[in-house]
Amino acid sequence: MRRILAGVVLAAGLACAVAVSQTADPTEGIKKTALDYVEGWYNGDSARMERALHPDLAKRHLGHDSKSGTGRVEHMSAMKLVQLTRGRADQPTPQSERTTKVTILDVYGNTASVRADMHEWIDYMHMVKSKGEWKIVNVLWEPTPEAKKRWGVPDEL
């Protein structure tokens, strides 16, 4: 009886170990996608940027209308962001002007929320896992206080 019980416990333990080992940790793929986005921008690497983005990306921020002094939501598509990145290919951001801090805020199933601290702005990203790959579907960003001063953007809009 003891042998049967020991065998059952051992088999259950092995089954749990196999199940845990087969459950992939999503943080590696999420961080890779965020770094493709950040470093793709810094390096002007449009292929890397495109790899990070879902085709239906919506990138937004509260811009400043200098004429009225009010804020307005400005939109950017995946295609526009890839084009802007491509336009930087011959002007990569100098190493001294790069900040790259990626923080995974939450992961649930096939979705994730991520914060990327960059040199002149903070991006909040929503990602989705599609066909086995993490893709950025939403970005909401705001310049850092230092960038706002350089760009002449008020703190509140």
Q: Does residue 45 have a pLDDT over 90?
A: yes
Task: Give the global pTM.
Answer: 0.81
Give me the DSSP letters along 62-129: EEEETTTTEEEEEEEEHHHHHHHHHTTTTSPPPGGG---EEEEEEEETTEEEEEEE-SSEEEEEEEEE
Residue with tokens 């087969």: 22
Q: How confident is the model over 103-136, as pLDDT tens digits? A: 999 999 999 999 999 999 999 999 999 999 999 9
Domain boundaries, the chain: 25-151
Greatest CA span in the chain, whole angstroms?
85
Q: Does residue 2 have a pLDDT over 70?
A: no
Euclidean distance between the first and the last CA atom of the chain, given in angstroms as a whole number: 74
- Please state which CATH number belongs to domain 25-151: 3.10.450.50
